[in-house]
Structure formats: structure tokens, C-alpha cells
Amino acid sequence: MTRDPRFDILFEPVRIGPVTAPNRFYQVPHCNGMGRSYPSSMTEMRRTKAEGGWGVVTTEEVEIHPSADHSPWMGGRLWDDRDVPVLARMCEAVHEYGALVGCELNHAGAMAANRYSRDVPMAPSHTPVALHDPVQARAMDLSDIANLRRWHREAAIRARDAGFDIIYVYAGHQLSTISHFLSPYRNRRSDAYGGSLENRARLLREALEDTRDAVGDTCAIAIRLSVDELMGPQGITSDGDGRELVEMLAEVPDLWDVNISGWENDSATSRFKAAGYQEDYIRWVKGVTSKPVVGVGRYTSPDTMVSLVKNGVLDFIGAARPSIADPFLPKKIDEGRVEDIRECIGCNICVSGDNMFVPIRCTQNPTMGEEWRKRWHPERIAPRHADESVLIVGAGPAGLEAARALGQRGYAVTLADGAEVLGGRLITERRLPGLSEWGRVVDHRIWQISQMANVETFLASALTPETVQEFAADHVVIATGAKWAADGIGRENPRGISIASPARILTPDDIMAGDRPDGPVVIFDDDHFYMGGLMAEVLRKDGIDVTFVTPAAHVSEWTYQTLEQHKIQSRLMEMGVKIKLSHNLTRIAPGKVTLACGYSGAQEDVEADSTVLVTMRNPVDALYQSLAQAGLPSLTRIGDCLAPGTIAAAVYAGHRYAREIGEGDMPNVPFRRELPQIAAQD
């Protein structure tokens, strides 16, 4: 197929100072939990993006000096020349496909506690570091500022020597010393580097000029700036300091990479923000500078991309998450295969990998982070190992991805589900407030398998052990999912909760099926991800009096990993949900529940006509267990049916099954590892 001429504009080369990008697809800096610790994995992931058509591929944050050591977060490093070879490999990999490669240099100042280097952190003014470490950053004097400029300059030279085409001066996300100087909120200095905007921007301007002086003849100089910190007049605002700053430095860099901060606003999830949400803040930038502008907003639609360029909002379509969910997004547009794009769902599971200091993972793209480790390519997969048939029971995320990938390999696949529609848990979860984009997980796979002559689907087909056996497939995969428990068993109460009948107990499955309590309700969230908070939203919207109880210290505590915790707790508070933290639910009786303080054990009763238990899910595995007795030649259970988990884990399980079928016994460690090395003494 060929490209739709409407999208030609996206494939125009764009000049950035001394270099030229082959097109307008720009993978902006993004963390990946691999960086310096898993450099082969990081390199292969970036190479795949370049292969998929991104005209510019950049690093994540690259530390320039041990005085700002962001451990245990695993970004890149250019502390000295010994760090050059790793990033040189990344540059070579990206250059293989004709893309430009960019390096986001950073000195994280008071955001880094220097847990590894044990150096004393530095900031514009004395301040405790982020993360609640018992560590303070010291106020920088003029010699510190001179040193920082020297480190930045030396790192820029190393980056050029590694092969980078674009060198960043990072002033975004309140994550860099340069941005701390800029911020009226953080900078309390009264010298030439504090006070007026001109003074606060002095270090930024100097770093830009130093970088240009050092490497500007061959490399483009980019600035990454948060034009609005979303903290009102205390911080930078896009109609105040942010705009003045762009006006002041308009022609100084070769490229403006603009966004909003902090990170939770820049990488807002679809639960809270629609695609394009940053446009209101950055629309004016192109009118102020003649230099190319890149911006982000979870853009996955080529029509939107074209209108952004045509309307003079952006020159480059920046993407972190859309490039993670589909590293081949540009190629698919180029080849006239727009409907094959695997669109990001805005869930931030990718961010959770980085926040947990492990390689990135993605709900939509099970190969993300596995490009080197498992040699999984997002588009290519080996042909079937034999002319065999596979019956998959259950068309949730696990079953659908298994069907899609097995279909791609050429197996004869039958996908059967008892429900009237495909989608499993997402049939109902996508209808929860803010989760509609999550439906893309099933929509994408349903479309893909609809194009495959070798994949058949059967709906409203609840299979029994007998019907499965009659089917006589060479391989049977059970992906029958899970159901929420109604007995309270979970982390805090491994033996369940005492329930005196006729107390009314509901689970999220009941609520999603339309069951509604009328009187006051207690939600007990021992799960800590999104479901408990969403149950509170749903019921509160119905005008029900809701008390949210959790043994955790925060509402939806794990959503800290997806950058949503603060937003979720604020939303519940705004909606008038009563919140009881650090409390267990010990007894449920008609009309009331008993809570116990997690610290003192003190008990109290709370009025509740109904209790919604969000504790754990139980596998729906009766079919699997019966078939296991029957001794089928090849029987496997995957996804929630094996052990309930995230949608990302179910998609991964389906994909993994499809990759490993016919492989025989897998080794104990079924992936390549980047082993620690004993250092040569010097």
C-alpha cells in the first residue's frame, strides 16, 4: 500500500540548525528503566524506533556529573569518557536507519539525593531534596555555577563524540538544576542568578551559549522547557514567565521542545486528560520563534498530526508514549496502513517500569523492553513451527493477543468466548469513568484478527470440557479470566473477613454489571490499583454516600507508579467521598462495618447498608482444571486465569504463549541478561 498524500507533510525533512531530520516524527526523551544499567536493551529499543520510522530518536535524561546522581532511577550517564561507548552504540543503532539521535543532558540538582555517589546535592538555594530523603542540597555559589557550566560543556563534547546530532539543555519538569534556577518557586537568590526572570534565566542562557560554543558547529542545540508548571503564579505560567522566557531566548537554541510540568501533567493519563491536552499551553510558541518546535500530547492520529503542522502549532510531532505503544507508527502511516497503528491507551504502565527501576513495559506493546532480552520485534514474528491448530478459550486481553500473534505466525486459530462480544474484562472496564481509551487494547486486536483468514472467532460459545475435547485442536489455551472475590480475602485479611448475613456484599463485577447499592456504602480497597477509586467515583456520581477504607496510607496507592495517585485522591476528596486511610475492615454486619486502625488497633463502627469489596480476584479456571484431568496433549492457561494481574500482564502472557509454542522446554532463565562485570582495576 502507499501513503495517503494527505499525510505527505509529515514526511517532509526539517532542518534543525546544522542537521536535518528526515521527517516530522520525533521521539522525545523518555525514561525506560534500562538506561545505563541495561544498555543493550536500551539500545535495541531505540534502534527499533528508528527502524519504525521515527526521524529523531532521543535518549532519556543523561546525567552529566556525580553531584546530581539520580540513582536508583536508571537514566543515561556521561560522567566521564568511560560512559561514551554505551551511548555511542545507541547512536550507531539509530543512525543505521537514517534518523537523527538526540541526547538530553541533565544535572538534576535537588531532585537527586545522590544515593549512589554520596556527593552533596546542589541547588540555587538551600533546600531539602525531593523524595523525602533526609538530605539537603546546598546553595550554589558562583564557583559551583562555573563548575556546573563546565560539566555541562564537557558532557556536550562527550555526547558529540558519542555521535549525537542534537544536544539538549534541559529545563523541563522541575527536574533539572537549570529549571530550579528558572523557577520563582525554588530560586530564593538575590545575586545575578536570582530575582528577575532575566537573572533566573541566566544559567539557562549560559548553558545554551556554552553548548553552542562547544559543539554547535556540528550538533543542533535543543532546549526542553516546561512553559507552564501548572502551579499558578508561584511557578512558571504559559501566559507569564513562560512566554517571556521564550520571547527572551527565541532564537538562541536551534529547536524548542516545549511541554508542561511536572511529569504527572506532561505524561497525564487518559483517565484525566484527552489527547492534545498540552496544546492550550504551547500553541503560541511557534509565533514567538522562527526555530522548529516540537510538542507532545499522546498524538496517535495522523489527521491530528497534519492539522497541528498545517495550523502552525508544531513542526515536529513529539511522542514518547505513542512511540512506545507502536514503534512503527510512522512507517504504518508511510505505508498506508493507518488502521494497523497500535494506539497508546494512556495508562502509564510504561512509567511504572521506570518508577520501579526495571525495564519498561507497555500494555499495548508486549515487545517493549524485550527487543534485546527476548529478541522480540514489534512487527516480526517467526512463522509457525508446524501446521497445527490452536483453540483459545476466552477473548479477553490474553486470549485476543494470543490469537493475534498465533494468527500472524500462521497457525489455524479458533478463539471462542461465552460472551456476546469480544473483549473480556475490558467489555465492562472500558465503560468506567475515564477508561474509554483502554478499549483500544481489544479494538486493535479485534481488527487485526478480522483481517486474518486463519483466525476464526466464535461468540456466545461457553465451552465445556467435552466441547473442548471434541474440537480436537493440537493445542488448547485457556484464557478464561478472573472474578473479584466476595469474601474479603486479600493482602490484609488472608483468611477473609467475618461477614454476618444478611449484610449486602458487592464486588466490582457486580457494580460494573449495573448492581447499585442505595444506602451508605463502604468500599474496602485492599487492591490499591485503580479499581477501588473508580468504584468510589461511580457510586458517588450516583449520589450515594461513600466511605472509602483502605489499609494503605494513600488512596489507590500503587497508582503512584502511574503518576495518578495525587489526582485520584484529590478527585475523590472533591467528590465528597469520605476517606479512611490505614484502616482494616474486620467485620461486616447488616447496617454497619467494623474498622480497625492499622497502628493502634482501635475499633470503630461505620454505618453501611452495603459493602463493596475490592480485595483480590480469583481465577475462573474450572474448565482448565477439568481438562487437566483429561490429559490433553497440549493444554496451557494464561493471563488472569493463571494468576490475575494487570491488563499489560495478560497481553504479555498471550504474546509469550504465541512466541513460545513449539519451543519445547524453556531454560531456567528464558531471556538474555546483561550481567554485572568485575571492573578492571585502574
**Which residues of this chain interact with ligand ADP, rule CB under 6 A?**
393-399, 416-419, 424-425, 462-463, 479-482, 620, 623, 639-641, 650
Q: What is the distance between the alpha carbons of residues 128 and 174, in angstroms, rounded to a whole number? A: 14
Tell the smallest beta-carbon distance from residue 263 to ligand ADP (Å): 29
Q: What is the distance between the alpha carbons of residues 477 and 638, in angstroms, rounded to a whole number? A: 7
Residues 6 or more apart whose Cβ sits within 8 Å of residue 631: none
Decide which of ligand ADP, ligand SF4, none touches 424; Cβ closer than 5 to 8 Å per partner kind: ligand ADP
Site mask for ligand SF4 (CB under 6 A), range 305-324, x = bound:
----------------x--x
Catalytic residue from among 30, 70, 152, 173: 173
Torsion of Cα atoms, 347 then 348 then 350 then 352, to 10°: -120
Interface with ligand SF4, residue 275, by CB under 6 A: no
Is 266 an annotated catalytic residue?
Answer: yes
Tell the smallest beta-carbon distance from residue 280 to ligand SF4 (Å): 21
Tell the smallest beta-carbon distance from residue 364 to ligand SF4 (Å): 4
Specify the residue, 499 or 643, whose C-beta has the smaller distance to ligand ADP: 643
Sign for the CA dihedral angle at 57, 58, 60, 65 comes to positive
Helix axes 565-574, 530-541, angle to 10 degrees: 20
Contact 592, 608 (CB under 8 A): yes
Tell the smallest beta-carbon distance from residue 494 to ligand ADP (Å): 23
Tell the smallest beta-carbon distance from residue 639 to ligand ADP (Å): 2
Decide which of ligand SF4, ligand ADP, none touches 640; Cβ closer than 5 to 8 Å per partner kind: ligand ADP
Interface with ligand SF4, residue 245, by CB under 6 A: no
Is 560 an annotated catalytic residue?
Answer: no
Which amino acid belongs to residue 541?
K
Specify the residue, 117 or 363, whose C-beta has the smaller distance to ligand SF4: 363
Decide which of ligand SF4, ligand ADP, none touches 169; Cβ closer than 5 to 8 Å per partner kind: none
Backbone phi, psi, residue 667, to 5°: -65, 165
Interface with ligand SF4, residue 176, by CB under 6 A: no
Decide which of ligand ADP, ligand SF4, none touches 639; Cβ closer than 5 to 8 Å per partner kind: ligand ADP
State the DSSP H helix or E strand holding residue 106, giving kind and residue range, or none if neither.
strand 100-106
**How many CA atoms, within 13 angstroms, populate the side-chain half-sphere of residue 671?**
17
Tell the smallest beta-carbon distance from residue 468 to ligand ADP (Å): 9
Specify the residue, 356 or 462, whose C-beta has the smaller distance to ligand ADP: 462
Specify the residue, 184 or 397, whose C-beta has the smaller distance to ligand ADP: 397
Backbone phi, psi, residue 235, to 5°: -120, -165
| Nearest CA among 632, 675, 642, 636 for reference residue 659 | 636
Q: Following DSSP, what letter does each residue of 295-351 receive, concatenated? A: E-S----HHHHHHHHHTTS-SEEEESHHHHH-TTHHHHHHTT-GGG--------HHH
Specify the residue, 359 or 394, whose C-beta has the smaller distance to ligand ADP: 394
Decide which of ligand ADP, ligand SF4, none touches 330; Cβ closer than 5 to 8 Å per partner kind: none
The one-character DSSP state at 681 is: P
Q: What is the distance between the alpha carbons of residues 471 and 611, in angstroms, rounded to a whole number? A: 43
Interface with ligand SF4, residue 31, by CB under 6 A: no
Site mask for ligand SF4 (CB under 6 A), range 34-73, x = bound:
----------------------------------------
Q: Following DSSP, what letter does each residue of 21-87 receive, concatenated? A: ESSSEEE-----S-TTTSHHHHHHHHHHHHHTT-SEEEEEEEE--GGG--TTS--EE-SSGGGHHHH
Tell the smallest beta-carbon distance from residue 336 to ligand ADP (Å): 31
Decide which of ligand ADP, ligand SF4, none touches 462; Cβ closer than 5 to 8 Å per partner kind: ligand ADP
Q: What is the distance between the alpha carbons of residues 120 and 67, in angstroms, rounded to a whole number? A: 6
Is 475 an annotated catalytic residue?
Answer: no
Tell the smallest beta-carbon distance from residue 300 to ligand SF4 (Å): 9
- Here the contacts of 133-138 (C-beta below 8 Å, separation 24 or greater) are 137/109, 137/110
Decide which of ligand SF4, ligand ADP, none touches 488; Cβ closer than 5 to 8 Å per partner kind: none
Q: Following DSSP, what letter does each residue of 622-667 receive, concatenated? A: HHHHHHHHHT-SSEEE-GGGTS---HHHHHHHHHHHHHHTT--SPP
Specify the residue, 437 or 492, whose C-beta has the smaller distance to ligand ADP: 437
Tell the smallest beta-carbon distance from residue 613 to ligand ADP (Å): 18
Decide which of ligand SF4, ligand ADP, none touches 417; Cβ closer than 5 to 8 Å per partner kind: ligand ADP
Catalytic residue from among 266, 354, 527, 621: 266
Is 173 an annotated catalytic residue?
Answer: yes
Catalytic residue from among 26, 38, 168, 170: 170
Single residue of 296, 325, 427, 521 touching ligand SF4 by CB under 6 A: 325
In angstroms and rounded to an integer, the radius of gyration of the C-alpha atoms of the chain is 27
Tell the smallest beta-carbon distance from residue 367 to ligand SF4 (Å): 11
Burial 34-69 (b: 16+ CB within 10 A, else e): bbbbbbbbbbbbbbbbbbbbbbbbbbbbbbbbbbbb
Decide which of ligand SF4, ligand ADP, none touches 393; Cβ closer than 5 to 8 Å per partner kind: ligand ADP
How are strands ordered across the β-sheet holding 610-614?
A: 504-506, 610-614, 521-525, 546-549, 578-580
Decide which of ligand SF4, ligand ADP, none touches 246; Cβ closer than 5 to 8 Å per partner kind: none
Interface with ligand SF4, residue 367, by CB under 6 A: no
Interface with ligand SF4, residue 435, by CB under 6 A: no
Number of residues that bind ligand SF4 (CB under 6 A): 13
Site mask for ligand SF4 (CB under 6 A), range 334-363, x = bound:
----------xxxxxxx-----------xx
Catalytic residue from among 30, 31, 299, 354: 31
Q: What is the distance between the alpha carbons of residues 298 and 592, in angstroms, rounded to a whole number? A: 45
Q: Pairing relation of β-strands 592-597 and 583-589?
A: antiparallel
Decide which of ligand SF4, ligand ADP, none touches 348; Cβ closer than 5 to 8 Å per partner kind: ligand SF4
Burial 275-306 (b: 16+ CB within 10 A, else e): bbbbbebbbbbbebbebbbbbbbbbbebeebb
**Active-site annotation, residues:** 31, 170, 173, 266
Residues in touch with ligand SF4 (CB under 6 A): 321, 324-325, 344-350, 362-364
